[in-house]
Homo-oligomer: A and B are copies of this chain.
Amino acid sequence: MPPKVYITRRFHFSASHRIYNPAWDEVKNLEVFGKCSHPTGHGHNYELEVTVAGPVQPDTGYVMDLTRLRSSIEAAVIELLDHRNLNTDVPFLKGQIPSSENLIVALWAQIQPLLPEGVELVRLRLWETPRNSFEYYGETV
């Protein structure tokens, strides 16, 4: 039986957002979210780590071609996020508070269909800053 290896590619995008629940007024938003809810927004350099796993293919020594993984995720996902406003510009975040938690769960649904058969999506890790990160493994509570 072939060994199972996990491969990870890091992506980068710069975006702005404002944490804001439209069901609440400004006062409650500022009370709950603090400076993250300033009306004119703020932004981050996000780093996204995508980890997939599968058997090593004997004829290539690859789980899958990382260049193909990279270009398909850049075209289908990163292009929609980079230099954009997460509150207004991103189709797959419409109607959601653009927290990193909601973003990473939405990214799972975007990235999973891009993988070839036999390769599974295992982990997403998103850095909002070099000191804050978020992971999602496709689990529910």
Q: Which residues of A are in contact with B by a Cβ distance under 8 Å?
A: 1-10, 12, 14-17, 19, 21, 23, 32-36, 38, 40-45, 51, 54-56, 59-63, 66-67, 82-85, 87-89, 96-102, 104-105, 129-137, 139-141
Contact = CB atoms under 8 A, between A and B. Distances in A.
Contacts of A23: 59
A67 B5 contact: no
A136 B38 contact: no
A97 B60 contact: yes
Contact of A101 (B40, B61, B88, B99): B61
Q: Is the interface of A mostly helix, strand, loop or mixed?
A: mixed
A61 B19 contact: yes
A62 B66 CA distance: 32
Contacts of A21: 59-61
